[in-house]
Chains A and B, each alone.
Chain A
Amino acid sequence: MAAASGSDLSSEMEVDAFRRLFPLNFHERHLLKSIRPDGRTLGKARDTIISLGAVTSANGSALTKIGCTTMLAAIKLEVMTPTVESPDEGCIAIDFHMPPICSPIVRPGRPAEAAPVVAKQLSDTILSGKAAWMAYLDIYCLDADGSLFDAALLSAVAAFSHLQIPVVSLNDEGRIVLISEDNGGGKLEKEPVNKEKRKLKLATIPFSLTCILHKNYILADPTAEEESIMETLVTVVLDSSSQLVSLYKPGGPVLAQTSAIQDCVSLTRQRLKELQKILNEAISDMEVD
């Protein structure tokens, strides 16, 4: 009934009003022509920008934008005593925040439903590095326009690529002390434990793509509007050697055939190449500086 009344009124109504009143109808009309309201084809992701070193007070940081979705990730390192079971390993604490500036539906005092879900997904995906360092990774969503997990993962990965472990030394009481750059030039009382700032070596880098399933269409990289109307999301995470790290389909009205899932995985594989290129460009731009 809604669809019928929609098409009766559509000839008399303005596009914006039709978009607000009959969103599903509006999007389906676009899907029939294999295109989406912002002009993309079904399998294409939005423009992605990575900017490293956005926060100067953090040890590593990155600002990423996928379309309008903006994420700011920053890593601060603290020295910790490793556990007895794994004396060789440090650990990572991940915190994902959605402050009220990012979206009109987030109210202060009531965190967004998406926030802890994305935080948990990130913890499952990112594994720990090799030092007695505690890395606090904080990701802030500054603008929420769909594909939050993709943007968050990309910013976390970029921040780790930018991370530089600072120079430390053992002082007289046996505690680790950070050597700041001001007195690094002159004579040092103690020999530094590591000679220079070093970058973290990442084993494999995970990249992800979120797709929406609707009837028999697969839409890659949805905006917030598309996510709110068509609720079945599939997130695929692949690492740089195209191996599957994680597959996440949290219910939803559409039941997917295995062929649909395989299509999602191949879309992710294409996206992986794009993202690797963008990340490498960002890293090499920074090293030139």
Chain B
Amino acid sequence: MEYVNPEGLRLDGRRPLEMRQLRAEIGVVARADGSAVFEMGNTKVIAAIYGPREVQNKSQQINDQAVVRCEYSMANFSTGDRMRKPKHDRRSTEISLVIRQTMEACILTHLMPRSQIDIFVQVLQADGGTRSACINAATLALADAGIPMRDLVTSCAAGYLNTTPLLDLSYVEDSAGGPDVTVGILPKLDKVTLLQMDAKLPLDTFETVMQLAIEGCKAVANYIREILLENTKQLEFRRGV
């Protein structure tokens, strides 16, 4: 099947190095300490942060840092066919772990000892790249909650089909069986915190694809910074500064 047609356009009309349209909004869940909606094309996720708050399970309390918990779940109607078991299947557990470890690396947990930070991510519409959208949404929500972090964490995925590196795969392209490289970086510090790949790829092609994903992450970081600045201006305006 042709994923990149001879004119160089993909199935949804994008160029190989083009990301899908990004859209984000902060403060969508009134009762959460921080929350955000993040859309990458048709993939739509909502993240809510509760914390720092008292540890619910005293045996898990750590005396010199905060405990970070994460739960990833998909809505029953988020994929094409209705999902039967949206929460505790293997994929959701794996992605919860991945998101938790990625975010834990950048939160300054030693500033909040004996407390707990809960990251809940809910996928409302899934069209490929849910892992990346969840990490981006979690970053925004953590910023909204005012939790101290080393840097933003942004994430993007890239693949390789029809001998072309492609940025930000949609569901159809992802299920084509080609490699899918997901990268999460701290943009200002220029450090990689998440790197996952499935399927096989020769090393030099891998370098190209990973660089492409990193470029995508930086573009997401710029967008997130704009959103956060806009939000701060709104807050200033409302305070009458």
Contacts and interface: CB of A to CB of B under 8 A. Distances in A.
B122 to A, nearest CB: 5
B71 interface: yes
A107 B56 contact: yes
Interface in A105-145: 107-108, 136, 138, 140, 142-145
Nearest to B33: A104
Interface string B65-94: 000010101011111101000000000000
Interface string B37-72: 000001000111010010010000000000001010
B137 to A, nearest CB: 11
A68 B76 contact: no
Interface in B195-233: none
Interface in A42-61: 55-58, 61
A82 interface: no
A100 B76 contact: no
A138 B56 CA distance: 29
A100 B118 contact: yes
Given A99-B120, A100-B120, A142-B46, A224 B76 contact: no
Interface stretch (A28-36, A71-79, A233-241, A258-266): A71-79
Given A101-B47, A107-B56, A136-B82, A143 B71 contact: no
B48 to A, nearest CB: 4
Contact of B75 (A102, A138, A144): A138
A74 B75 contact: yes
Nearest to A73: B77
A242 interface: no
Interface stretch (B24-32, B147-155, B175-183): B24-32
Contacts of B76: 74, 76, 95, 97, 136, 138
A97 B121 CA distance: 14
A126 B6 CA distance: 52
A232 interface: no
A104 B34 CA distance: 11
B120 A143 contact: no
Given A56-B125, A100-B71, A104-B31, A138 B47 contact: no
28 contacts: A55-B125, A57-B125, A61-B77, A74-B76, A76-B77, A76-B82, A95-B76, A100-B48, A101-B35, A101-B46, A101-B120, A101-B121, A102-B48, A104-B32, A104-B50, A104-B53, A108-B69, A108-B71, A108-B118, A136-B77, A138-B75, A138-B77, A140-B122, A140-B124, A142-B28, A143-B29, A143-B32, A144-B31
Closest 9 CB pairs of A and B: A101-B48, A74-B77, A68-B30, A138-B76, A100-B120, A101-B120, A108-B71, A58-B77, A76-B82
Given A55-B77, A142-B46, 19 more contacts: A56-B125, A57-B77, A75-B77, A76-B82, A78-B82, A97-B76, A100-B71, A101-B29, A101-B32, A101-B46, A101-B47, A101-B121, A104-B31, A107-B56, A138-B82, A140-B124, A142-B29, A142-B122, A143-B30
